[in-house]
Structures are given as structure tokens and as C-alpha cells.
Amino acid sequence: MKALLQRVSEANVSLDGDLLAAISAGVVVFVCTEKQDSDEDADFFARKIANMRLFADADGKTNLSILDVGGEALVISQFTLAANWRKGNRPGFSAAADPDMAERHYEYFCKQLAVEGVAVKTGRFRSHMAVSLVNDGPFTIWMDSAEK
């Protein structure tokens, strides 16, 4: 499983000009399921993201989690995080999970993040969406379950 987290002051996602979801302060989580991923990977990522200290306290130190600040998560499925870009000029996506597995895993991850107490909003799986965000910092974290 791979995820790219971006701390944001606001973000939204639309499809064909229609707003699907919007958040204020929180994180945008671009998430990708790969063939070897399991529910345990999603559980680990949900716990980690809910508790990761990404937000500043009164002294300006990143000591607060999304739970501490009452932030929201906008979770977007993005299979392109599985891109193999090393050979040639066209990225390959053969490491990404098949769409059925990926959708199940995406929905499971979103549910687990909500179980952890995070307010979760989503895009639409397997859709060409427009994501807008204001990266706060910028503050971006790369996560790969192969590195846990």
C-alpha cells in the first residue's frame, strides 16, 4: 500500500464539474493498493495517519494529530502511485491491484480511518476527478507499507 499525505488548509474533489466532497483544515490522502497488500496494511495506515503528528501546537511544533485538531481527511484513490517509471518513458502500473481488489481495499481503508475517529470524505473510485487543494506548509508525507 502506498499513500501520499498532504496537510491542507482546504481541499475539494469534483467530477464533471460537480462537487463530490470538500474539507477545511486536515489532510488529503492519495492512496494506492498494490497486488500484495492486505487489510493489515490498511489497518496500519489508518492508525498511523489518525495519530501522526502533522499539525502545529501553540508553540509552532508539529505535536498535534488530525484527531487533536478536529481535522478532516479527503481520501482519493490513486493507482498511479504504483507507477514504475524507471524503464522507458511511459510509466507502467502492473504493480497496482486489480480494480475490484483496489476498490474493496480503498473502501476498507476509508472505513478504518473513520473507525479511528477521523472525519472522512472521499472522491469516487475509478473516476477521472479534479482535486484542488491548498497545501499547508507545504507539508507532504510519503508512506509505503513495504517500509513498515
Query: Could you give the C-alpha distances from 65 to 25, 95, 135, 139, in angstroms and in order?
Result: 12, 31, 16, 13
Active site residues: 78-80
- Dihedral of CA atoms 106, 22, 62, 47 in degrees, nearest 10, equals -20
What is the reported pLDDT for 147?
86
CATH of domain 2-147: 3.50.80.10
- pLDDT higher than threshold 90 for residue 146: no
- Do the bridges between strand 2-15 and strand 26-32 make them parallel or antiparallel, or are there none, so unpaired? antiparallel
Q: Are 32 and 82 in contact (CB under 8 A)?
A: yes
CA distance 56 to 148: 25
- pLDDT higher than threshold 80 for residue 110: yes
Confidence of residue 26 (pLDDT cuts 50, 70, 90): very high
- pLDDT higher than threshold 90 for residue 148: no
pLDDT digits (tens, 9 = 90+) for 73-89: 999 999 999 999 999 99
What the block records as the C-alpha cell of 104 is 474493496
Residue that has been written with the C-alpha cell 490513486 in this structure: 78
Confidence (pTM)? 0.95
Spans of all domains in the chain: 2-147
**In this structure, what DSSP letter does residue 96 have?**
B
- pLDDT higher than threshold 90 for residue 65: yes
Percent over 70 (pLDDT), the chain: 100
What average pLDDT does range 54-77 have in this prediction?
Answer: 97
